[in-house]
Amino acid sequence: MPTVTLIPGDGIGPEVAAATRRVVDALDCGIEWEVHAAGLPAIETHGSPLPEHVIASIVRNKVALKGPVTTPVGTGFRSINVVLRKDLDLFASVRPCHLYPGVDSRFESIDIVVIRENTEDLYEGIEFEQNSREQKKLRGYLKYMHGYALAPDAGVSIKPISVTASRAIVQFAFDFAKRQKRRKVTLGHKANIMKFSDGLWLETGERLAVDYRDVGFEAIHVDELAMGLAWIPNDFDVIVLPNLYGDIISDLCAGLIGGLGLAPGMNIGLDYAVFEPTHGSAPDIAGRGLANPVAMILSAVHMLRHIRMTSAAASLERAVEKVLADGHHRTADMRPTREPATTDEVANAIIEAL
Ligand code: NAI
């Protein structure tokens, strides 16, 4: 029987993870869970937000289902999400944005997949704090090499984009589009401004597109992409983006399909896969049973498909679809017309619909 590492996370994580576990257990497909704390709860119990044994568990099981984890702003520990993605080389973040019938949206149908590079770009964490010794050295170097006067009170983050990582993710996007019989791949960039990072990203994408003539391809400035998605989203199909643009655009696409509470996600590498909702730990609603569990339950649907439990995945997706379509059990974020349902009530309704 497959064993899956389950990381509930913090904030609303434990609530949506418990609901998802109940729903998957109700499928009776024999999944064993290995539960591990990460984030704030792990600091309390193990003195580290991402203890070694959590990574070891994913390496052993090859697949994990993860709730969101809080990242302190400005100071404190680095995002464990970024560390996990780097350590396990989960180079592709895949965020399917599908509008299910009955869900409130400005559009009638949406079916977009955002594929985001997960390992480099501004998320590398190469940073220089304002007025620090390191920043002063960098300032001296930039002045000497480029005649560039960096202000002492400027914080600096570096954006590396490599041919290797760009090729890997664009190839992944083309293969994904081909496998899923998708129309086209849209590559977003800002090569007119960042000639050496985004320029290289664009050039790598254009070169690869030649090998995939059976899949449509277009390159577009990321700002124009944002406008297009808000206006005529059905012009897009598979979108491939570097890390930061991918983070922002996938939240935009979540907004097209009913919000973050409905947006699943996964991080895929050659050896391991971690499934997690697009949303964060939502501290504003944590601990009150208000969180929408659907994003994490749909992430579990994709996990089941990944481990080839296709009929269990199909049953679960159908049950979610039924509950969303009948509209009787909706958490507050879905703007229900009646009394909002709790996290557990939504999970119960999905179990009943199985
Ligand atoms: P967020 O996604 O946690 O919340 C944004 C808004 O959406 C909030 O109003 C929240 O209440 C709502 N929301 C999110 N998920 C919901 C759900 N399932 N049901 C109902 N409403 C929901 O984003 P925010 O506030 O920017 O980040 C909070 C923390 O989460 C930060 O520390 C951030 O770094 C972390 N984060 C972690 C992620 C991960 O672990 N993969 C991903 C994104 C953010």
Q: What is the pLDDT of residues 291-331, one digit of tens each?
A: 999 999 999 999 999 999 999 999 999 999 999 999 999 99
pLDDT at 258 (0 to 100): 96
CA distance 68 to 38: 9
CA distance 241 to 248: 10
Ligand 1 centroid – CA 283 distance (Å): 7
**Which two structure tokens, joined as six digits, stand for 14?**
């434990």
Average pLDDT over residues 88-107: 96
Q: How far apart are the first and last CA of the chain?
A: 21
Digit-coded pLDDT (tens) for 197-252: 999 999 999 999 999 999 999 999 999 999 999 999 999 999 999 999 999 999 99
Q: Phi/psi class of residue 63: alpha, beta or left (left: φ > 0; alpha: ψ in -120 to 50)?
A: beta
**Which two structure tokens, joined as six digits, stand for 324?**
């969303």
Ligand 1 centroid – CA 68 distance (Å): 8
CA distance 198 to 214: 25
| pTM score of the predicted model | 0.94
Residue with CA at minimum distance from ligand 1 atom 32: 70
C-beta 297 within 6 A of ligand 1 = no
Ligand 1 centroid – CA 281 distance (Å): 4
The single-letter code of the amino acid at 125 is G
pLDDT at 41 (0 to 100): 87
Q: Are strands 92-98 and 111-117 parallel, antiparallel or unpaired?
A: antiparallel
DSSP 53: H
**Which two structure tokens, joined as six digits, stand for 13?**
């994580």
Contact 194, 249 (CB under 8 A): no
pLDDT at 135 (0 to 100): 97
Average pLDDT over residues 30-43: 93
pLDDT classification of 153: cutoffs 50, 70, 90 = very high
Q: Are strands 156-157 and 111-117 parallel, antiparallel or unpaired?
A: unpaired
C-beta 280 within 6 A of ligand 1 = yes
Compute the residue count for the chain: 354
Q: Are strands 156-157 and 216-221 parallel, antiparallel or unpaired?
A: unpaired
Average pLDDT over residues 246-269: 97
Is residue 72's pLDDT more than 90?
no
Average pLDDT over residues 119-127: 92
CA distance 285 to 15: 11
Average pLDDT over residues 54-82: 87
Q: C-alpha angle with apex 175: 96 to 241, nearest 5 degrees?
A: 55
Is residue 6's pLDDT more than 60?
yes
pLDDT at 325 (0 to 100): 96
Is residue 107's pLDDT more than 90?
yes
pLDDT at 271 (0 to 100): 97
Is residue 189's pLDDT more than 90?
yes
Ligand 1 centroid – CA 280 distance (Å): 3
Q: What is the DSSP string of 136-205?
A: HHHHHHHHHHH-----TT--EE-----HHHHHHHHHHHHHHHHHTT-SEEEEEE-TTT-TTTHHHHHHHH
Ligand 1 centroid – CA 199 distance (Å): 32
Residue with CA at minimum distance from ligand 1 atom 27: 280
CA distance 93 to 250: 10
Residue to substitute in 260, 262, 292 for testing ligand 1 pocket (most ligand atoms within 8 angstroms of CB):
260
Ligand 1 centroid – CA 279 distance (Å): 4
SS3 223: helix
Q: C-alpha angle with apex 76: 73 to 79, nearest 5 degrees?
A: 70
C-beta 68 within 6 A of ligand 1 = yes
A 10 A CB-CB count for 183 gives 12
C-beta 260 within 6 A of ligand 1 = yes
Is residue 75's pLDDT more than 60?
no
Digit-coded pLDDT (tens) for 46-61: 988 899 999 999 999 9
Is residue 274's pLDDT more than 70?
yes
Ligand 1 centroid – CA 49 distance (Å): 18
Average pLDDT over residues 262-287: 97
| Mean per-residue pLDDT over the chain, rounded | 95
Average pLDDT over residues 124-138: 95
C-beta 153 within 6 A of ligand 1 = no
**Which two structure tokens, joined as six digits, stand for 330?**
């909706």
CA distance 157 to 139: 13
DSSP 241: E
Residue with CA at minimum distance from ligand 1 atom 16: 261
Is residue 77's pLDDT more than 70?
no
pLDDT classification of 282: cutoffs 50, 70, 90 = very high
Residue to substitute in 279, 294, 299 for testing ligand 1 pocket (most ligand atoms within 8 angstroms of CB):
279
Average pLDDT over residues 31-37: 97
C-beta 282 within 6 A of ligand 1 = yes
pLDDT classification of 32: cutoffs 50, 70, 90 = very high
pLDDT at 83 (0 to 100): 87
Is residue 93's pLDDT more than 60?
yes
pLDDT at 33 (0 to 100): 98
Tell me the residue ranges of DSSP E strands in 260-328: 266-268, 273-275
Q: Determine the atom of ligand 1 nearest the C-alpha atom of 291.
A: 19
pLDDT at 43 (0 to 100): 87
The CA-atom distances, in angstroms, between 322 and each of 101, 102, 280, 327 are 9, 9, 26, 9
Contact 259, 312 (CB under 8 A): no
Q: Determine the atom of ligand 1 nearest the C-alpha atom of 67.
A: 40
Pick from 24-28, 91-95, 337-341: least confident:
337-341
pLDDT at 47 (0 to 100): 87
Residue with CA at minimum distance from ligand 1 atom 13: 282
